Structure 1
Amino acid sequence: MKLFNNSAFLRLAVLAMSFSLFSCGGGDGPNPKGSTFEIYLDFWNTSGRTPEVRFDELNTSSEIKIDFTKTFQGTAEGSSFTKVEIDNFRIIDQNSNNYNIEDITAYELRDGVWKKDIEFTMDFDQSEDISVVLVLDRSESLGEDFGTIKNYANDFIDQVFDDREVVQMGVVDFADDVRSHPLTTRREDLKSYVSSLVQGKFTTLYDAVDIGIDMLQDSDSQSKVLFVFTDGSDNNSSPNVNVDYLLNRIKSDKNDYKITSFAIGLDGDGGVDQNILTKLSGNGGTASFPKTIGEAKGVFEKFSRVISNVYSLEYLRNQQVIPRNTPAKLKFEITTIK
């Protein structure tokens, strides 16, 4: 945990969420060269005890992944302070590399000039525990590549369990039907389950994602991730289950910690609907579309690290009344580790 003096006290969970579409290759590996990224946001507190913030997507660095459509509401802390907490915050570049936070410096815009904030406190840390549901296509269209995909999935399971101390993971697999393995802390059980999967006809993608959302909404982990892999488009789900229905379920989740969704669409034969998978990658997640089974390996590896690397950040400010129509303008410079 890092403590810094600022004009605000913000808790960000960095996982990762705009709806960006990332390429699958290149980059500098899991620990890319360090860089500085900027977050811009508006802060208001209409009663002195009800702080709120909204991110400025236009000016914020494109690598910052958060739900830019959301207003984050805070609470009063005693008689002097207010606190805003933001979850599921990640830094991911166009090659799906994720970045580790080293330092954060806060600024406030005053009289047209960005002034470093030295009066209040900011702290950040990684989320303590994570729940992941792997939604895995096992349709016949994968052909002989399905065995390779199962290997990638098992490597993904190993990487997430290796990276985090507290992990629950489940699997939802789909073809003409949908099956599942519940959330568990036993990685070998998951790997055995994946290894035993057999292919079937059709692609019941939406029903599978729906079940994955159920599993995660029942979890109380600080970070919840839905990770989808497919090589096709849905052609077998219930009529009332579509992408808008699924997005609404994710967005309207009443839990304190929200689901972040990621997707890989193997697009070798052009059968993947990239727009649909990009929409499904919500709350700070992203989608990637490798063209070959070999490229997919790199995306699985990168996403396993991206998913694990999620931060929380808290912003504490005093109880000064700030109208919503004239919010405080804040900027945070994030220095990342090389």
Structure 2
Amino acid sequence: MKSMHSLFMLALLSVAVFYSSCSKDPKTVPDANPNEIPDPSCIGVDKDDAIVLRFEYTNYQGQEPTAKIVPTRTDERVQYDELSFTPTVEGNKMVIRIPNIRLSDNDFNYTAQCVVIEELDETRPANDRWFEQTEFKNQEEFSQTKLATQLCIDVSSSLGEDRDQVKQYAIDFASQVLNNNNGESYVGLTLFADTVITYPFTNQLSDIITAINGFPYPELNAQTFTRLSDGIIAGLDAIEQADLDVDDRVLVAFTDGNDNGSNNPSANQARIMDSTVPRYMIGLKGKGLEYNTNYLKGLASSENYFVEAEDAVELQQRFNDINELIANIYTVIYNRSTQMFDPDLDDPIQLRAIFFATPYRIDEN
């Protein structure tokens, strides 16, 4: 993922290489709110690429400071997990953090190229009500979110000679996640065939390599079955039980087939689909008659979180696609002074984060 120090600071995470297989279709991208949108500070975008998150901040005397997203004034393409957040005092600053922000709709995911955070002052001229606080500009305006990524990989014998490539893709995927967040993200690993083994979360790539090399792989010519849903549930359990200092947790699963080895597959499927953990699915077509696109797509949190490849060569790009998706989970960061206000006299401070973002979708061809 490219570093944009002058545009935004990637203090925390993660992933990389903008899509060669992604396409922008400006005719179908919704127009942003045109009112008082400033010119972007980054190239390749304009005012129509703005996606606005509105939030308000209070620090009333005798009360805990709060920050709240304002859904009715926020672009529908902004996806978030919670509405309220508690700012923290760090040195002489009050730091507002809003984590786990995703930019997407039914057609596109969006990559933020830069962001500006502004405050509203109704006493200023109508064309200049939104402005950047000069004293508060020396700050990270957004970063990518610290993640715990559970990687669930099918290593059954049906992969044939492609299995070694799949193992390497998993290692490369973990390397990107870990390297792009300065060691502040973690990767957990579940490997499954007719055996399911889950390994602890780690921020050391060597642990992932050791686990992948040590799994008891079935012989390629053996008659084995795939415990797909068992593997995903094991991964979800690991995510829920892990005690990690991260902002978000996601699961990424890969398979070349269907679930023909788990007990109670329908109950497992229901449990997976009920999980609130964001789930990304990668499928490899053409390896067997049991492959089921609709089933795998249903296990993902949304259709935008599902990709599939025709062969092992294309599969590497599909892993990169998902890595790009989980990289674009943002934390809005805004620093203010610790000044307090009177709840009887002062309204909440109105703020907005304007993401200048480009749309992409994974090329299915």
TM band (smaller chain): 0.5 to 0.7
Q: 1:309 to 1:38 in 2, by over 3 A?
A: closer
Matched with 1:73 is 84
Superposed CA deviations along residues 192-250 of structure 1, whole A, max 9, x for unmatched, are: 3224442473332222222222322313232433211112333433438534423544x
Name the SS for the 1:87 alignment partner. Answer: strand
8 Å contact 1:204–1:235 — kept in the other structure? Answer: yes
In structure 1, how many angstroms separate the alpha carbons of the residues matched to 2:177 and 2:109?
Answer: 15
Counterpart pick for 1:116 among 120, 126, 130: 130
Q: 1:87 to 1:51 in 2, by over 3 A?
A: closer
What aligned pairs does 1:49-68 form with structure 2 within 5 A after superposition? 52-53=68-69, 55=71, 59-61=75-77, 66-67=79-80
Q: Could you say what the CA RMSD is over the residues aligned between the two structures, in angstroms?
A: 4.8
Structure number with the higher strand fraction is: 1
8 Å contact 1:44–1:52 — kept in the other structure? Answer: yes
In structure 2, how many angstroms separate the alpha carbons of the residues matched to 1:74 and 1:158?
Answer: 31
Superposed CA deviations along residues 297-323 of structure 1, whole A, max 9, x for unmatched, are: 1121243344345431146898798xx
In structure 2, how many angstroms separate the alpha carbons of the residues matched to 1:73 and 1:93?
Answer: 22
In structure 2, how many angstroms separate the alpha carbons of the residues matched to 1:330 and 1:308?
Answer: 25
Counterpart pick for 1:277 among 267, 285, 299: 299
Q: TM-score, normalised by structure 1?
A: 0.65
Matched, 1:38 2:61: no
Matched, 1:104 2:111: no
State the Cα distance separating 1:138 from its structure 2 match: 1.7
Superposed CA deviations along residues 36-58 of structure 1, whole A, max 9, x for unmatched, are: 4403557699x996653254699
In structure 2, how many angstroms separate the alpha carbons of the residues matched to 1:225 and 1:146?
Answer: 24
Q: 1:83 to 1:168 in 2, by over 3 A?
A: closer
In structure 2, how many angstroms separate the alpha carbons of the residues matched to 1:109 and 1:319?
Answer: 15
Q: 1:194 to 1:316 in 2, by over 3 A?
A: same
Superposed CA deviations along residues 131-178 of structure 1, whole A, max 9, x for unmatched, are: 322100122332332222112112212222332221432210112221
8 Å contact 2:55–2:67 — kept in the other structure? Answer: no
8 Å contact 1:38–1:331 — kept in the other structure? Answer: no
8 Å contact 1:26–1:95 — kept in the other structure? Answer: no
Matched with 1:335 is 356
Matched with 1:20 is none
Q: 1:247 to 1:145 in 2, by over 3 A?
A: same
Matched with 1:304 is 323
Percent identity among equivalent residues?
21
In structure 2, how many angstroms separate the alpha carbons of the residues matched to 1:76 and 1:92?
Answer: 26
Deviates more, 1:34-43 or 1:137-146: 34-43
In structure 1, how many angstroms separate the alpha carbons of the residues matched to 2:331 and 2:237?
Answer: 24
Matched with 1:246 is 272
Matched, 1:154 2:171: yes
Q: 1:271 to 1:37 in 2, by over 3 A?
A: same
8 Å contact 1:263–1:280 — kept in the other structure? Answer: no
Q: What amino acid sits opposite 1:222 in the alignment? A: V
Matched, 1:236 2:261: yes
In structure 1, how many angstroms separate the alpha carbons of the residues matched to 2:95 and 2:53?
Answer: 18
State the Cα distance separating 1:27 from its structure 2 match: 3.0
8 Å contact 2:227–2:261 — kept in the other structure? Answer: yes
8 Å contact 1:14–1:88 — kept in the other structure? Answer: no
Superposed CA deviations along residues 69-125 of structure 1, whole A, max 9, x for unmatched, are: x442234779xx998643222457999987354332447798x99952557968534
Number of aligned residue pairs: give it. 298
Q: 1:174 to 1:89 in 2, by over 3 A?
A: same
Greater relative contact order: 1 or 2 (C-alpha under 8 angstroms, separation 6 or more)?
1
In structure 1, how many angstroms separate the alpha carbons of the residues matched to 2:110 and 2:213?
Answer: 28
In structure 1, how many angstroms separate the alpha carbons of the residues matched to 2:326 and 2:192?
Answer: 22
Matched, 1:164 2:178: no
Q: TM-score, normalised by structure 2?
A: 0.61
In structure 1, how many angstroms separate the alpha carbons of the residues matched to 2:76 and 2:350?
Answer: 13
Q: What amino acid sits opposite 2:281 in the alignment? A: A
What aligned pairs does 1:177-256 form with structure 2 within 5 A after superposition? 177-197=195-215, 198-199=217-218, 201-217=224-240, 218-223=242-247, 224-239=249-264, 241-249=267-275, 251=276
